[in-house]
């Protein structure tokens, strides 16, 4: 759901040589650092061995660990904010209601909304399908436009560590973009969290226009996936009339 912004001294996933600019011949694809950054090997060490995770514990148990370490205690207090640790085993949210269950060990993250924001345009609200596969084209972007991705999410049950957003994009079967955005570590709370990705710019030119396929994920440090969406979108000379 994004492309690297073309800045001076940086390479994007699309680049034309001098001959190609003059003759509009075959496009030369230069892989950027982000397109070489794999996301499929998460959860493995440098030798390819699966990382063994420690035992899970409730939110209250996590807080009581290392309670004699003042720096750790202050960090946990800052992370948990206004959560009442004396009443929370696992904090669960259902709509506007909140309930407590000491048996919950696994954190849960629910993505509530996704939207694309571009200056001078109405926000493109992206419906989130239950099966993770939007029907048809999910959205259309104008070539060379600046945009951000906005989303909100809610955390319940337990602390989620190392939540990240990953996105890979393909054109005619070739991956042209890949990114991993670290969001952070979040404690359960009733109020949703909101996040806005850094501004990016869509590629422009004859070879950049067309249809793309993509896959976006929200995963944590344990490689638990909370949402995976496989979708298609277009880049055109102008915005779609419906958007």
Reported as a single tens digit per residue, the pLDDT across 87-114 is 444 444 444 444 444 456 788 999 999 9
Same domain, 112 and 94: no
Same domain, 91 and 183: no
Task: Report the distance separating Cα 132 and Cα 129, nearest Å.
Answer: 5
The answer to the question of residue 66 being in a domain is: yes
Same domain, 142 and 199: yes
Within 10 A of 236 (CB to CB), how many other CB atoms are there? Answer: 14
Which domain CATH number covers 128?
A: 2.70.50.30
Reported as a single tens digit per residue, the pLDDT across 177-221 is 999 999 998 988 888 999 999 999 999 999 999 999 999 999 999
CB 178 within 8 A of CB 34: yes
pLDDT at 102: 45
DSSP string, 117-184: E-TTS--EEE---TTS--SSEEEEEETT-EEEEEEEEEEEBSPEEEEEEEEEEEETTEEEEEEEEEEE
Reported as a single tens digit per residue, the pLDDT across 6-23 is 443 333 444 333 443 443
Of the candidates 237, 168, 179, the residue with the CA atom closest to the CA atom of residue 203: 237
Same domain, 80 and 188: no
Q: Sorting pLDDT into bands at 50, 70 and 90, what band is 68?
A: confident
State the first-to-last Cα distance of the chain, in angstroms, to the nearest integer. 16
Same domain, 110 and 96: no
Asked whether residue 154 carries a pLDDT value surpassing 70, the answer given is: yes
Task: Report the distance separating Cα 190 and Cα 164, nearest Å.
Answer: 20
Domain that holds residue 170: 31-38+106-236
The answer to the question of residue 78 being in a domain is: yes
Report the percent of the chain where pLDDT is more than 90.
46
Same domain, 144 and 231: yes
pLDDT at 10: 38
DSSP state of 50: B
The answer to the question of residue 23 being in a domain is: no
């Amino acid at each position: 759901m994004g492309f690297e912004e073309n800045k001076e001294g940086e390479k994007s996933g699309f680049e034309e040589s001098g001959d190609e600019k003059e003759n509009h011949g075959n496009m030369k694809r230069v892989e950027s650092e982000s397109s070489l950054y794999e996301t499929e090997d998460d959860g493995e060490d440098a030798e390819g061995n699966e990382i063994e995770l420690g035992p899970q514990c409730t939110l209250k148990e996590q807080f009581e660990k290392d309670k004699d370490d003042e720096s750790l205690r202050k960090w946990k207090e800052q992370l948990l904010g206004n959560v009442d640790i004396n009443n929370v085993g696992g904090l669960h949210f259902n709509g506007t209601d909140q309930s407590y269950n000491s048996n919950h060990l696994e954190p849960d993250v629910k993505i509530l909304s996704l939207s694309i924001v571009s200056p001078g345009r109405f926000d493109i609200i992206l419906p989130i399908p239950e099966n993770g596969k939007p029907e048809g084209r999910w959205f259309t972007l104008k070539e060379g436009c600046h945009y951000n991705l906005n989303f909100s999410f809610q955390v319940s049950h337990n602390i989620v560590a190392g939540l990240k957003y990953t996105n890979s994009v393909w054109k005619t079967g070739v991956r042209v973009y890949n990114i991993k955005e670290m969001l952070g570590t979040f404690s359960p709370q009733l109020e949703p969290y909101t996040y806005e990705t850094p501004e990016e710019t869509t590629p422009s030119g004859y070879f950049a226009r067309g249809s793309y396929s993509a896959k976006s994920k929200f995963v944590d440090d344990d490689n638990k996936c909370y949402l995976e969406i496989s979708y298609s979108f277009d880049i055109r000379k102008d915005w779609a009339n419906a958007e």
